[in-house]
Structure 1
Amino acid sequence: MEEAHSGICGAHQSRPKLHFQIKRMGYYWPTMVKDCMDYVKKCQACQFHVNFIHQPPEPLHPTIASWPFDAWGLDVVGPIAPKSSDGHSYILAATDYFSKWAEAVPLKEVKKENTSVSNNCNSSMYNAPANGLAEAFNKTLCNLLKKVIGRTKKDWHERINEALWAYRTTYRTPTQATPYSLVYGVEAVLPLESQIPSLRMAVQEGLTDEEHAKLRLQELEALDEKRLEAQQRLECYQARLSNAFNKKVRPRSFQVGDLVLALRRPIITTHKTGSKFTSKWDGPYIVQEVYTSGAYKIVADEDLRVGPINGKFLKRYYA
Structure 2
Amino acid sequence: MQSHVVQSPWHTIGVDLTGPLPKTPRGNAYILVVVDYFTKWVEFFPLGTIKSRKIAQLLHDEVICRHGIPVKIVFDNGAQFVADVFRGTLKIMGIRHRTTALYHPQSNLSERVNRTLKPMLAIFAEHDKEPWDMRLPQLALAIRAAINGSTGQSPAFLMYGRELKLPLDLVYGSETDVLDKLKLSEEFRTHTERLKAILVSAHQSARENLEIAQ
In the superposition, the TM-score normalised over structure 2's length comes to 0.71
Partner of 1:228: 204
Q: Which has the higher contact order (CA 8 A, sep 6+)?
A: 2
Partner of 2:14: 73
* Alignment check: 8 A CA contact 1:204 1:212 kept: no
Partner of 2:40: 100
Q: Secondary structure at the match of 1:94?
A: strand
Task: Give the drift of 1:220.
Answer: 3.2
What whole-Å deviation, never above 9, does each CA across 1:12-41 have from its counterpart, x for those lacking one?
A: xxxxxxxxxxxxxxxxxxxxxxxxxxxxxx
What whole-Å deviation, never above 9, does each CA across 1:168-216 have from its counterpart, x for those lacking one?
A: 0000011000000001111111122222323427x967x6323595456
Q: Relative to 1, partners in 2 of residues 1:71 and 1:164: Cα closer, same or farther, differing over 3 Å? A: same
User: What number of residue pairs does the alignment pair up?
Assistant: 175
Partner of 1:109: 49
* Alignment check: 8 A CA contact 1:170 1:179 kept: yes
* Alignment check: 8 A CA contact 1:177 1:230 kept: yes
Give the % identical residues. Answer: 28
Q: Secondary structure at the match of 1:121?
A: strand
CA distance in 2, matches of 1:182, 1:134: 18
Partner of 1:121: 98
Q: Secondary structure at the match of 2:25?
A: coil
* Alignment check: 8 A CA contact 1:63 1:97 kept: no
Output aligned runs, 1:1-319, within 5 Å.
59=1, 61-80=2-21, 82-116=22-56, 118=90, 119=95, 120-124=97-101, 129=105, 132-149=108-125, 155-200=131-176, 208-210=183-185, 214=190, 217-238=193-214
CA distance in 1, matches of 2:128, 2:161: 39
* Alignment check: 8 A CA contact 1:124 1:130 kept: no
Q: Secondary structure at the match of 2:176?
A: helix
CA distance in 2, matches of 1:67, 1:151: 38
* Alignment check: 8 A CA contact 2:3 2:107 kept: no
Higher share of residues assigned helix: 2
The residue type paired with residue 31 of structure 2 is I
Stretches of structure 2 lacking an aligned partner (at least 5 in a row): 57-85
In the superposition, the TM-score normalised over structure 1's length comes to 0.49
Task: Give the drift of 1:107.
Answer: 0.8
The residue type paired with residue 6 of structure 2 is A
Task: Give the drift of 1:143.
Answer: 1.9
Q: Relative to 1, partners in 2 of residues 1:161 and 1:199: Cα closer, same or farther, differing over 3 Å? A: closer
- Let me know the Cα RMSD of the aligned residues: 2.8
CA distance in 2, matches of 1:75, 1:148: 21
